[in-house]
Structure 1
Amino acid sequence: MKRYRFWGGTFLVLILTFLLAACSLLPEKQVHYQRFNNGTDTRLTYYARQDKVTRQETKNTILYSALGAVDKESAQQVLDPISKKFQGIKGLSQKITYKKTYAEEKLTIDYSKVNLDDVRHLPGMRYTSGTESNNISLKKSETLVKRHNFVKVTDNKFRNFSKKELTQAPYSIKDFNNIKLASSTIDTNATTVDELTKELGRPDRTQKTQGTSGMERGMYLWYLSPNKLAYLSVSTSGNQVLTKTLTRYGTSRKNISSAIFDSLENGTEYSAVITALGEPTRATAFRSRTTSYATLTYRNRASKKDYIFYFTNDKLISKRESNY
């Protein structure tokens, strides 16, 4: 399971442009830039005559794990509201295509047709103040994108995601359920911090204290997305995992409603709820001797509601619906 470090910025690439008066009848040339990091591949192409940019094309490939999303549906709930703001603008076209584990975006701006007043306030747009015309300086645009870690590309030598990176599924509830919890401080069958570190890498946060019994207690956290909206945290006694929490605020479900919520009755199996509703927004679990306790939280952004299910020994015992 590959993880990505935090990075600032949104999925829709920063459209970094400057406006200057310049015009030429010289043949149109292409200049390419790329920024490749944190689960996102951004490719920017300027089409220009001399120093005047005539149009601009951006292609993005972003792994769902970089959004803190686990599938197409949860990625759509993150990206579609942003994409909607780019629709219906003359001289600008933008489209997102959703794959199984990643999304592709293409955005094109034709500066001979677009009205800058229609686009300057869109997410990620950057224009100099006081602009009155669609004259974009290629030279100054290149200077600015380089400041934002874009690298110039020649001979089409772009960096690419590996096949494994494009097909590897984000950390899922199945992975979470595979973490075995200790029933007591002397349980030797539980998952260890060393095993999680081997799978996820070095923890992003670690806190250790000495327990009253002399056994070391620990808290460990791994970020599962660069925006830190998805993370796994565990508490330990010695090296054994006692409790676990999976949080992914980028994961939201459209298919859950009050009617579906009401149909899931007490006694329903933990696995049956997941089968019915899919990946949860949040999951927690701990054990006390022979009894296990768990919660599953599902968020619906459209209705702005959380649906929370409580389990004992993998059986639903209660549930709660609330606004957030």
Structure 2
Amino acid sequence: MKRQHFLGSAFIVLIFTLLLSGCSLLPEKQVHYQRFGNGIDMRLTYYARRDRVTRQETRSTILYSALGASDKESAKQILDPLSKRFQGITGLTEKITYGKNYAKEKLTIDYKKVNLKKIKQLPGMYYSNTKSNRISLKKSEEFLKKNKFVKITDNKYKKFTKKELTQRTYSIKDFDKIKLASSSIDDDATTITDLTKQLGRPDSTQKTKSTGEERSMYLWYLTPSKTAYVSVYTVGNRINTKTLNRYQNTDKKINSSVFDSLQNGIAYDTIINTLGEPTRATVFRNGSNTYATLTYRDKNTTKTYTFYFTNEKLISKRESS
């Protein structure tokens, strides 16, 4: 009898223990969400038991055009400093791989191991309560829906088209193809209609007319953040000024020594071939003469380097901090 009583007591203790730790024995369910648009495909999966999120996985595809980056190297200059902040944290892994026209990021968080207080200040992280590592699935889903995430229940994610994944970002070479008008009868010059076919409807248009011909400005944003754009100015129907601006584009090739080595008389194309994509470019045409400015920003400092050209030859330059 004592033996049977002991076994019965042990069984009761076992049941009580299972009730206390029941969450860890429940099957783990998955909940999928996606936010798609503006050049970014973000797919988030929560793994949860009841209302408690145990871990999450986020996979993102980011087109370089969404960053205002002209190529892989420019994208690395933007994303690598952010990625560095995610490294060396227990319970969190993050990795970015770079393709020709887009980057892929994978982020995983194990809430059984991670310290929320350490990660809540990271880019893109939001937690309303960090007193414990308990993450509510219900509250997390409510937050995602408020931030334009869509719940995926049938594995039918939105996808980028092949054209979007293979289309290269707008570059200085594209900008240089905009031919400014030398006169009102320059039939070879680029028109607003030509640019609209290439870039779509302008995001901003301004027109003024006081005396003489109408003057207009047309602007196309190249990124959702509006940090990169192409703009042109017209007199009548003639484009006489164009600007390419990409503030986030920095250059690791430029520094004071390289700047000093580039002497007056060097060609506009040589500067671009030597230094790569500029942060800003402006070209103005007056009759048969063209006047251009190229600005580069040092990746490692706050310095900017500006080069001035007349008829595609360097005539002066300026270094500023």
Which TM-score applies when normalising by structure 1? 0.89
Q: Which residue of 2 aligns with 1:113?
A: 113
Matches within 5 A, 1:268-307: 268-307=266-305
Specify the code of the residue in structure 2 equivalent to 1:257: N
- Cα distance in 1, alignment partners of residues 131 and 119 from structure 2: 13
Q: Which residue of 2 aligns with 1:318?
A: 316
For the residue of structure 2 that corresponds to 1:125, the secondary structure is coil
Shift, 1:236, TM fit = 0.3
- Cα distance in 2, alignment partners of residues 123 and 302 from structure 1: 21
Q: Which residue of 1 aligns with 2:264?
A: 266
Q: Which residue of 2 aligns with 1:97?
A: 97
Matches within 5 A, 1:1-324: 23-129=23-129, 131-213=130-212, 215-323=213-321
Q: Which residue of 1 aligns with 2:19?
A: none
- Cα distance in 2, alignment partners of residues 143 and 116 from structure 1: 19
- Cα distance in 2, alignment partners of residues 239 and 83 from structure 1: 47
- Cα distance in 1, alignment partners of residues 289 and 131 from structure 2: 69
- Cα distance in 1, alignment partners of residues 194 and 61 from structure 2: 31
For the residue of structure 1 that corresponds to 2:160, the secondary structure is coil
Shift, 1:211, TM fit = 4.7
Identity %: 67
For the residue of structure 1 that corresponds to 2:25, the secondary structure is coil
- Cα distance in 2, alignment partners of residues 143 and 77 from structure 1: 34
- Cα distance in 1, alignment partners of residues 265 and 110 from structure 2: 59
Aligned length: 300
Specify the code of the residue in structure 2 equivalent to 1:199: Q
Specify the code of the residue in structure 2 equivalent to 1:268: I
Tell me, yes or no, if the aligned pair for 1:120 and 1:127 is still in contact at 8 Å: yes
- Cα distance in 1, alignment partners of residues 161 and 313 from structure 2: 41
For the residue of structure 1 that corresponds to 2:139, the secondary structure is helix
Which TM-score applies when normalising by structure 2? 0.90
- Cα distance in 2, alignment partners of residues 254 and 41 from structure 1: 28
Q: Which residue of 1 aligns with 2:18?
A: none
Structure 2 gap ranges (5+): 1-21
For the residue of structure 1 that corresponds to 2:194, the secondary structure is helix
- Cα distance in 2, alignment partners of residues 180 and 272 from structure 1: 19
Specify the code of the residue in structure 1 equivalent to 2:119: V
For the residue of structure 2 that corresponds to 1:46, the secondary structure is strand
CA displacement, residues 131-176 of structure 1 (integer Å, 9 cap, x when unaligned): 3221111122112111111111123221111111011111111111
CA displacement, residues 22-52 of structure 1 (integer Å, 9 cap, x when unaligned): 9452111111110100000000000111211
- Cα distance in 1, alignment partners of residues 248 and 169 from structure 2: 12
Shift, 1:185, TM fit = 4.1
For the residue of structure 1 that corresponds to 2:103, the secondary structure is strand
- Cα distance in 2, alignment partners of residues 242 and 212 from structure 1: 18
- Cα distance in 2, alignment partners of residues 89 and 76 from structure 1: 21
- Cα distance in 2, alignment partners of residues 289 and 136 from structure 1: 66
Higher radius of gyration, 1 or 2: 2
- Cα distance in 2, alignment partners of residues 110 and 281 from structure 1: 39
- Cα distance in 1, alignment partners of residues 170 and 267 from structure 2: 22
For the residue of structure 2 that corresponds to 1:284, the secondary structure is strand
Tell me, yes or no, if the aligned pair for 1:188 and 1:240 is still in contact at 8 Å: no
Tell me, yes or no, if the aligned pair for 2:264 and 2:316 is still in contact at 8 Å: yes
CA RMSD across the alignment? 1.4
CA displacement, residues 197-247 of structure 1 (integer Å, 9 cap, x when unaligned): 11111111111112522x211011111101111001110012221100000
Tell me, yes or no, if the aligned pair for 2:240 and 2:286 is still in contact at 8 Å: no
Specify the code of the residue in structure 2 equivalent to 1:152: K
- Cα distance in 2, alignment partners of residues 250 and 281 from structure 1: 7
- Cα distance in 2, alignment partners of residues 311 and 132 from structure 1: 60
Higher relative contact order (CA 8 A, sep 6+): 1
CA displacement, residues 46-70 of structure 1 (integer Å, 9 cap, x when unaligned): 0111211100001111101101111
Tell me, yes or no, if the aligned pair for 2:181 and 2:239 is still in contact at 8 Å: yes
